[in-house]
Amino acid sequence: MAFTGKEGGEITLEQGADMTANYRDENPGQTKGHFFGREILLKLLDQEGAMGIRMYYGIDGNGEKELVLVSADADENDMLDLVVDISQPCPPRCGSSNSLNS
């Protein structure tokens, strides 16, 4: 099967809130999420042949959860010319309290 660029879909806020609450309940005090800026995401997506972004889970040298991002092509292969991390973790950069982060 090939990627088309249409993979993924919307969920309701309630579904997202339930999923993130389940995670927080099972992982108290842990990183809740990561923020990546628009420019780096567009840089990933603007690569020739990119159909989307694949996110890998990782642990950095300090034992903190991280996401490692790469583009993926239509054949479902990772495009390894640009590998992205250096996200802004939540906490501490969570913004206002809402049903996804509190």
Determine the structural domain holding residue 73 and report its residue range.
Answer: 34-102
Give the side-chain half-sphere CA count within 13 A for 54: 17
In a domain, 88, yes or no: yes
Give domain status of residue 101, yes or no. Answer: yes
Domain contains 16: no
- Has residue 24 been placed in a domain? no
Q: And the tokens for 11?
A: 């969920």
Q: Mind listing the pLDDT tens digit of every residue in the chain (102 residues)?
A: 899 999 999 999 999 999 999 999 999 999 999 999 999 999 999 999 999 999 999 998 988 889 999 999 999 999 999 999 989 989 999 999 999 999
The pTM of the full predicted model, rounded to 2 decimals, is: 0.87
Domains: count for the chain: 1
Q: How far is CA 88 from the centre of its chain?
A: 11
Decide if 92 is inside a domain: yes
Strands 65-72, 52-59: pairing is antiparallel
Kindly state whether residue 21 falls inside one of the protein's structural domains: no
CA nearest to 44, candidates 5, 71, 18: 71
Residue type, 34: H
Handedness of CA 42, 79, 77, 46 (dihedral sign): positive
